[in-house]
Amino acid sequence: MMRFTNTTWLMLASLTCLSGNAVAQSLAGPEKLAAPALTAQPSRDSAELIFRSVLRKPGDDGSKAYRIPGLATTPSGALLAVFDIRYDGSGDLPANIDVGLMRSDDSGESWSGMQRILDFDQSQPGSFGNGVGHPTIVIDRQTGTIFVAALWSHGNRGWKGSEPGMTPEETGQLVMTQSTDDGLTWSPPINITAQVKRPQWRLCFNGPGAGIQLRDGTLVIPAQYRESDGTPHSCFIYSRDHGQRWDISPPAIPVGPPTSESQIAELDDGSLLLSMRDESRSGQRAWAKWTWSELEQVESPSAPISGEWSAHWSVVDDPTCMASLLKHPNGKLLFSNPNHPSERIALTVRISDDEGRTWSEGRLIDSGECMYSCMAVLADGSIGILYEVDDTLTFARFSYDWISSGK
């Protein structure tokens, strides 16, 4: 396990423009994952045609809680789960939190041991645990590089404690780690805060959950920032040069309900659909569509993006919670969240065939107290979902036909 001091950090910050291959070759990654081991006995509910297993529970590897799931399938078919290791309890940053990863080579039937892929030295004085968490995973399928972005809080620099500025002493830092060997080893953290944050903002960071790669190769990670007065806005960060340089979009809703955690999907016409957590406590999910400028195709990778957001709309009950949005290979959109306007209960997966304007009644995945979730299409064509229940991460797998046949 690698830990990083502030001195080491100053050297790492200069690597923000290196390519994935360059970073992998110039930095020594941590040791490879432990030998695969089944973490929990799986179960199948024959009445619902759904497979389940508990991936992480309180007490595993000495941590009191596990939260904030991300899930993605690599080009080789490996399934990667990322999450917060919250050692001292379920509370958010600042705290002693690391980003963990587990791997499955059989579509979630069994899983490897846990690896810590982002981990700062929690013993540094005044660091409040020096935590890093809230991960988003995205895969460049053209190069094979896998990126995991997260928020680093050196001191009280989480959601509430961050202030305007750019340094770790002033504001939370947006960092990334990357793998060029299918998720087996990972680079030390790379700081991209200066690339995407404005000095007047209190905070700028990622998702969490999963990002996407567009048909033209652009990498997109859902993101959010807080203005100087604290107002949050959902947006996205993107790279058109395979992760060497990152930039940020305009806010999806510049005037209107404040929004934060989001997920994103590319629609058939190349536009982007953003699903957002509405911080006004409206009891519904907020949505907006980004349409690229016609000139976008001829601009250089280093040029700012051009395009515009649609007027936002609200649809689907939502208790102000992170949710998952997924574009299925058949073209349909899938969405998962707690199906209630005010309580985090009844995790449900829905389908839309009109670009997120309307949604099916969906299928119930878990009737209990459920919170964050993240979906991925697995190597065998089924759909996987990793979700939170009471500081525990549960993995479930089901077919698209099972979801589409729900009423």
β 131-139/209-210 pair status: parallel
Clarify whether 261 is annotated catalytic: yes
Burial of 405 (0-12, 13-18, 19+ CB in 10 A): exposed
CB environment 332-344: b (16+ within 10 A), e (fewer): ebbbbbbbbeeeb
Residue count (the chain): 407
Question: Residue 265: CB partners within 8 Å, gap ≥ 6?
Answer: 212, 272, 273, 275, 325, 326, 327, 333
**Spatial distance between the Cα atoms of 333 and 405, rounded to a whole number of angstroms:** 15
Among residues 31, 169, 170, 261, the one annotated as catalytic is 261
β 131-139/146-153 pair status: antiparallel
Sign of the CA dihedral running 386, 390, 392, 398: negative
Give the tokens for residue 194.
Answer: 């200066």
Neighbours of 41 (CB within 10 A): 7
Token look-up 């930039």 returns: 247
CB 271 within 8 A of CB 327: no
Question: Residue 319: CB partners within 8 Å, gap ≥ 6?
Answer: 283, 338, 340, 341, 342, 343, 344
CB 58 within 8 A of CB 66: yes
Q: Is 161 left (phi over 0), alpha (psi -120 to 50) or beta?
A: alpha
Token look-up 């404040």 returns: 258
Neighbours of 310 (CB within 10 A): 14
Strand partners for 212 = 220
**Spatial distance between the Cα atoms of 311 and 265, rounded to a whole number of angstroms:** 17
Query: Dihedral angle at the C-alpha atoms of 235, 238, 244, 247, nearest 10 degrees?
Result: -50
**Spatial distance between the Cα atoms of 209 and 194, rounded to a whole number of angstroms:** 22
Residues serving a catalytic function are 261
